[in-house]
Copies of this chain bind each other. A is one copy, B any other.
């Protein structure tokens, strides 16, 4: 639970992908790079663009590019863009509470929501990318050093190099 939508996952992936280019990139190119199906990438790109995270260029030779640096984009921002406001439950002060008049927790989730928003606002996409690549490398080296303790071919596939 507290499960993130896949779209948000794709969004981060896409943003990182875009971060590797200086010029505009088409959605199909991005799809090829990330391995995510084209229509899905297109959808994510549209959403991100609508939110202002990307700048789009229509027409031939068009595409997308980042509106700002990855360091300046927080996870909170991305999640909010693709999945709407970060709010843990329907029972918040602003809206109506399904539990009705008996609800003893009116507004109490606000504290929680704020805490989460703070946590997410403090992590940039750049940071995420930074935390992931070395992790993969380290893991790959661990596997190498332990030599043949690796039996799972799928795992072997997973640590395969990806372009960078």
Contact = CB atoms under 8 A, between A and B. Distances in A.
B2 A83 contact: yes
Contact of A35 (B99, B109, B112): B99
Count of identical protomers in the assembly: 2
Given A99-B9, A99-B13, A128 B106 contact: no
A163 interface: yes
A132 B89 CA distance: 14
A108 B128 CA distance: 5
Given A3-B88, A91-B9, A100 B133 contact: no
A104 to B, nearest CB: 5
Interface string A92-131: 0100111111111111111110011011101100011101
